[in-house]
Amino acid sequence: MTVTRFGLQIPRFTYPGVPDSELFERVADIATTAEESGGFDSVWVMDHFYQLPGLGAEDEPMFEAYSLLSALAARTSRVRLGTMVTGVTYRNPALLAKTVTTLDVISSGRAILGVGAAWNESEHHDYGFDFPPTGERMDRLEEALRICRAMFTEYAPSFSGKHYQIHEAFNVPRPVTPGGPPVMIGGGGEKRTLRLVAEYGDASNIFGDLATVRHKLDVLARHCADVGRDPAEITKTKLCTMVIAPTSQEADKRVEAIRAATGFGEEQVRAMLVAGSPDQVLEQVQAHVDAGLDGLLFNMMDAHEVENVRLAGETLARFSF
């Protein structure tokens, strides 16, 4: 099962001239435009409480992820819906399984569980969540994956781990998706994260330039061999930023504006971007697929200008895997 080919992540909820009371309608417009464009088969939001460095100030608007996804489920009919990605440290795994199952029912089987070990210490501190060392966060992630899988597939599962326990936990109504919503694990850690993908994931999302992508996929393939799993069973994606415009000259201007706004170096920006005219974007998508990816997830910094989303989706709809 391919979890997604092309997804749109909505990275910001700060839109020029739009008051807070109207933000959801703008986000819904972005999501429905992505669906209608024909190129996007999934829509994602960040499971964070603060805006992230490089995207804006911490105190910019940030919706709670699952409330937002449930609302978007009522406005859309085809695209899958998920978080990129939920931090295991601030979501009790049994409640997370219940929440994602509810989204699956509301959306008629379109939920994806996106999950990772969490990283943004600032919002943990301010919200009163513990932020344990990396090793413990990875241990918690593995326990959470086991609990979510059990609650998706078993009638009354029990689990006793070092950090989490459940006892004959009911999850009713049951997921609409057979076997439960697919699980996407975010991150490219070679020792633990990609090993967990091989053991528990339906999909993996990584970062980096093409050389890094090839290397991470090789590491994942070795982990799959170790656990006796066919890597073709796992949808392999990368999160990057798309800048698309009718002409390459206009796209170049937007890329330079992003570089200036973020303070990132040119090489860093180019590594994270798919940018250019529609034909140039398709060439870069092809290069990523040739590197071994099954799909791409895109941030669009200018998604509030929905015609850019429409152009992106119509362009991606031309791509043939």
What's the per-residue H, E or C state across the chain? CCCCCEEEEECCCCCCCCCHHHHHHHHHHHHHHHHHHCCCCEEEECCCCCCCCCCCCCCCCCCCHHHHHHHHHHHCCCCEEEECCEEHHHCCHHHHHHHHHHHHHHCCCCEEEEEECCCCHHHHHHHCCCCCCHHHHHHHHHHHHHHHHHHHHCCCCCEECCCCEECCCCCCCCCCCCCCCCEEEECCCCCCHHHHHHHHCCEEEECCCHHHHHHHHHHHHHHHHHHCCCHHHCEEEEEEEEEECCCHHHHHHHHHHHHHHHCCCHHHHHHHEEEECHHHHHHHHHHHHHCCCCEEEEECCCCCCHHHHHHHHHHHCCCCC
| Residues with pLDDT less than 50, the chain | none
Q: At what angle do helices 65-75 and 23-37 cross, to 10 degrees?
A: 50
pLDDT digits (tens, 9 = 90+) for 101-130: 999 999 999 999 999 999 999 999 999 999
Question: Given this model, what pLDDT does residue 10 score?
Answer: 96
pTM score of the predicted model = 0.96
d(CA 98, CA 14): 30
| The two structure tokens encoding residue 278 | 């529609």
Question: Given this model, what pLDDT does residue 311 score?
Answer: 98
Question: Given this model, what pLDDT does residue 262 score?
Answer: 73
- At residue 4's C-alpha, the angle toward residues 255 and 40, to 5°, is 55
Distance from chain centroid for Cα 171: 24
Q: Which domains does the chain show, CATH number per domain?
A: 6-241+278-318 (3.20.20.30)
